[in-house]
Chains A and B, each alone.
Chain A
Amino acid sequence: MTEAIIVLSNAPAEHDSAAVQRPDTSFRWVAGALSLLACVLLWHGLSTAHVRTPWITFANVPPPLAVAQAGLELLGSPKLLNHVLWSWWRIAAGFIAAALVGVGTGLLIGRFGWAERMLLPPVEVLRPVPAVAWIPLAILMFPSSEVSMVFVTFTGAVFPILLNTIHGVEGVDRRLVASAQSLGARGWAVFSQVILPSAAPSIATGLAIGMGTCWFCLVSAEMISGQYGIGYFTWESYTLQDYPGVVVGMLWIGLFGMGSSALIRLMARRLMPWQAVTRGAR
């Protein structure tokens, strides 16, 4: 949950970093590929040499080749699709619920003093509780383990979305509001024409972070109470001593988390073309 706070304080800076945003793209790809390759080589070296120290041991860490083989095997089996679909379903349900609740209450808290006074104190108390700590209570509260996993996913995503939405609404330039009122905008029009689009970039940031924390929490929940799902697969592989499977599961989680956050960012860019202009991309 610390992630959310960090981005909260960084969000305004994001708007004026136009020059930093665009290094040479081909160089970026090469550098990215090289750094990934270096990680794999390091992993290969440490695991094949069975490096042992009193503090950390790589004796049981599967080497990259074994993981790749296990990954290919899993790709060919129908098990993968089943696990992936279950995880996706939970992510979708938890994330959509978190987006609705987070953006909705965030708009209220940011806009209205009474909502802030009534809703912010419980938010402040619950915010530092890690989603993983909700798992026991979720199991007790929801008869269906399915719903409890979705709930844990929800708690992971809702706070970054909520906080970034509040931040976005409170950051609206009051001159824009006053100007719109002088041009004849009232009540709902001020909200839909000025406040919502003003807060949209910050809300999008919240959604992208929330998507990341969603995966983080889902996997924890699946490890404990799942029957299917990519997190459950990872934990099951461990209990079956299928160590390459553990790493395969981890890599899938990483890929999906990264991919879904990127998808949110892509959608945000499509919906907010003026953002690209201010960043000098046009």
Chain B
Amino acid sequence: MSAGRIDIERLHIRLGQGAQAFEAVRDVDLGIAPGEFVCLLGPSGCGKSTLLGALAGHLSPAQGRIRIDGQPVSGPAPSRGLVFQHHTLLPWQRVIDNVGFGLKMRGVPKAERDAQAQALLASVGLSGFEDRYPSELSGGMQQRVEIARVLINQPRVLLMDEPFGALDALTRVKMQQLLLQVWERIRTTVVFVTHDIDEALFLGDRIVVMSARPGRIIDQMVLPFGRPREAALVTDPAFIALKRRCLDLLHGAEPLPRLSPLGTPAAAAAAWRFAL
């Protein structure tokens, strides 16, 4: 399962109903190469998660189009894995069954599901936790299971919505390193949403900076850092220079309430019951 090219053309996304409707994403043009690690950086509520939701197929654009390997996006699909800020593991399933969920949906027999899930759990350092329930794990472990669960589908595109935003600083750094280790083996295309400048600079091949609402692309920078990346990178002069540039770009942006890849909390709550 290679490829994973993303083409976004003149994309506009509107959220909300009636008088509360607003434009969350305005006129975004973006091409992402197969296997590229792109970080979407912008102030809170700027529409970067909205853009991610459209890539995942949970939100439909008002104008413009999104194609993955030439195919237009119409609804969610296992080839586009989505990781939320807070885990969405099924509380009633043990870790191993959560990880094997995607295979179950494809009708893979239990023994094979378990074997693959076990291998993936080992690769995120969670061997021995197969029989736990999600609520028995720490926040960092839950996110690792969440990532393993998405990777079992061998997605062409991995969409991550501030996946480490709710973790403490130390765990966050560990998770960033783990993600890079895993990604260097599978080399899928990654779109990683964050408002943390250090995180974006540490992880990405390229950073796409978005403005405050309505979200537009205001700058892009290709990061010159080699891989594998070491923790010491954050004190590198080139790193600090780029960080300053990002800070200047984001300076003065008023953070707005966070949006999610599923839209605004109220509008999506009204709409989802028809989604089945």
| Residues in chain B near residue A175, CB distance under 8 A | 84, 86, 88, 260, 262
Report, as a range, how many residues of chain B touch the other chain. 35 or more
Give the one of A178, A184, A187 with max B CB within 10 A. A178
Give the one of B58, B91, B261 with max A CB within 10 A. B91
**Residues from 244 to 282 in A contacting B, C-beta threshold 8 Å:** 272-274, 277-278, 282
Q: Is B239's CB within 8 Å of the partner chain A?
A: no
| Residues in chain A near residue B150, CB distance under 8 A | 182-183
Q: Is B201's CB within 8 Å of the partner chain A?
A: no
Known: A173-B88, A274-B92. A182 touches B78 (CB 8 A): yes
| Residues in chain B near residue A176, CB distance under 8 A | 88, 90
**CA distance in complex: A138, B106 (Å):** 50
B273 touches A184 (CB 8 A): no
Distance in angstroms from B58 CB to nearest chain A CB is 5
Q: Is B169's CB within 8 Å of the partner chain A?
A: no
**Residues from 194 to 239 in B contacting A, C-beta threshold 8 Å:** none
Known: A175-B262, A189-B105, A277-B133. A183 touches B149 (CB 8 A): yes
Q: Is A174's CB within 8 Å of the partner chain B?
A: yes
| Residues in chain A near residue B90, CB distance under 8 A | 176, 180, 193-194, 197
> Interface 1/0s, chain B 66-81, versus A by CB < 8 A?
0000000001111011
A184 touches B102 (CB 8 A): yes
Distance in angstroms from B129 CB to nearest chain A CB is 13
Closest B residue, CB atoms, query A183: B102
**Contact partner of B136 among A113, A179, A186, A277, CB < 8 A?**
A277
> Interface 1/0s, chain B 157-186, versus A by CB < 8 A?
000000000000000000000000000000
Distance in angstroms from A277 CB to nearest chain B CB is 5
A-B contact count (CB 8 A): 91
A278 touches B91 (CB 8 A): yes
Q: Is A190's CB within 8 Å of the partner chain B?
A: yes
Give the one of A181, A185, A193, A194 with max B CB within 10 A. A181
Q: Is A55's CB within 8 Å of the partner chain B?
A: no
B135 touches A274 (CB 8 A): yes
Distance in angstroms from B4 CB to nearest chain A CB is 15
Interface size on A, residues (CB 8 A): 33
**CA distance in complex: A67, B30 (Å):** 83
Known: A113-B274, A175-B262, A178-B76. A184 touches B92 (CB 8 A): no
**CA distance in complex: A129, B88 (Å):** 41
**Residues from 156 to 211 in A contacting B, C-beta threshold 8 Å:** 170, 173-187, 189-191, 193-194, 197, 200
| Residues in chain B near residue A277, CB distance under 8 A | 133, 135-136
A179 touches B276 (CB 8 A): no
B77 touches A182 (CB 8 A): yes
**CA distance in complex: A186, B77 (Å):** 10
| Residues in chain B near residue A273, CB distance under 8 A | 133
Which are the 10 A-B pairs with shortest beta-carbon distances? A179-B88, A184-B105, A184-B78, A181-B76, A183-B102, A182-B76, A182-B82, A274-B92, A277-B133, A174-B272
16 further contact pairs, Cβ within 8 A, besides A112-B274, A174-B272, A184-B105: A111-B276, A113-B274, A176-B88, A178-B82, A181-B58, A181-B76, A182-B77, A182-B78, A182-B82, A182-B150, A184-B106, A190-B276, A193-B90, A194-B90, A200-B92, A274-B135
Chain A residues engaging chain B, CB cutoff 8 angstroms = 110-113, 170, 173-187, 189-191, 193-194, 197, 200, 272-274, 277-278, 282
Q: List 16 A-B contacts (CB under 8 A).
A: A111-B273, A112-B273, A112-B274, A175-B86, A179-B84, A182-B58, A182-B76, A182-B82, A182-B150, A183-B105, A197-B90, A197-B92, A273-B133, A274-B92, A278-B91, A278-B135
